[in-house]
Chains A and B, each alone.
Chain A
Amino acid sequence: MKTNDLILQTITKVIVFLILLFSVDIFFAGHYTPGGGFVGGLMTSAALVLLLIAYDIKTVANLFPVNYIYVAATGLLIALVTGISSILRHKPFLTHAFNKHVHLPLFGETSLHTAALFDLGVYLVVVGVTMTIIQSIGEDK
């Protein structure tokens, strides 16, 4: 039976951006307030799951043409490189460093900590694993 999902699809177009923004906020706030890479990744995959429910796997694959297994692998690689880069500075594995004066092109002078990079790895792994599980269960062919 052909059904019309106009209300759900219109609501989804508005709410997905709110959820993505909330997940980015929760990811960057993780150092000082509750949150971090894990919850942020789960929220991002919740937004993608909402898209999957409102549309279908084919449409979402056109929107985000990524293989989520590679996303998880990239996250693991980022976490590993963060750990190894401390060995290159003759410090123990996973010794984090920070720099108070980094000049970014858009933000000006900011202070960066490599734990945020490690958190980015966690974030990518969570998004990749969750979306791989949900997509491979959802494929009913």
Chain B
Amino acid sequence: MFSFVLHASLVLIALSMIGFIYRVIKGPSTPDRVVALDAIGINLVAITSILSILLKTTAFLEVILLIGILAFIGTVAFSKYLEKGVVVEHDRNNH
């Protein structure tokens, strides 16, 4: 029963990822694609955690935190590029 629930939630998360991939491909503006990619990263966290329950291992727990941090930094970098045109400024007070 428990294994069935895990597999069903894997299928549901995969379906929601297909929805996000549709938004990444179709999305009319760039912010749509950035938000969809961020959500895909968070779905990847969910898939990794469910898979680590299914495989009965704790070896993937670092990967979960890693994906969260990388998704956050990537989204912040993309947002700053969209807003200011540069990702890393030399001096933000006078340029």
Contacts and interface: CB of A to CB of B under 8 A. Distances in A.
A58 B87 contact: no
Interface in B36-95: 59, 62-63, 65-66, 69-70, 72-73, 76-77, 80, 83-84, 86-92
5 closest A-B pairs by CB: A138-B88, A56-B92, A56-B89, A58-B91, A52-B88
Interface residues of B, number: 21
Interface of B: 59, 62-63, 65-66, 69-70, 72-73, 76-77, 80, 83-84, 86-92
A101 to B, nearest CB: 30
Interface residues of A, number: 29
- Binding site secondary structure of chain B: helix
Nearest to B80: A53
Nearest to B84: A3
Interface of A: 3, 8, 15, 19, 22, 26, 33-35, 39, 43, 46, 49-50, 52-59, 134-135, 137-141
Contacts of A22: 65, 69
Given A3-B84, A39-B66, A46 B73 contact: yes
A126 B13 CA distance: 35
Contacts of A134: 88
Contact of B72 (A15, A137, A141): A15
Contact of A19 (B69, B84, B86): B69
Given A50-B76, A140-B86, A55 B70 contact: no
Contacts of B66: 39, 43
Given A3-B83, A33-B59, A34-B62, A53 B70 contact: no
Nearest to A23: B69
Given A46-B69, A46-B73, A138 B87 contact: yes
Contact of B69 (A35, A43, A58, A59): A43
B54 to A, nearest CB: 18
Given A53-B88, A57-B90, A141-B90, 13 more contacts: A22-B69, A34-B59, A34-B62, A39-B66, A43-B69, A46-B70, A50-B73, A53-B80, A56-B91, A59-B92, A135-B88, A138-B86, A139-B90
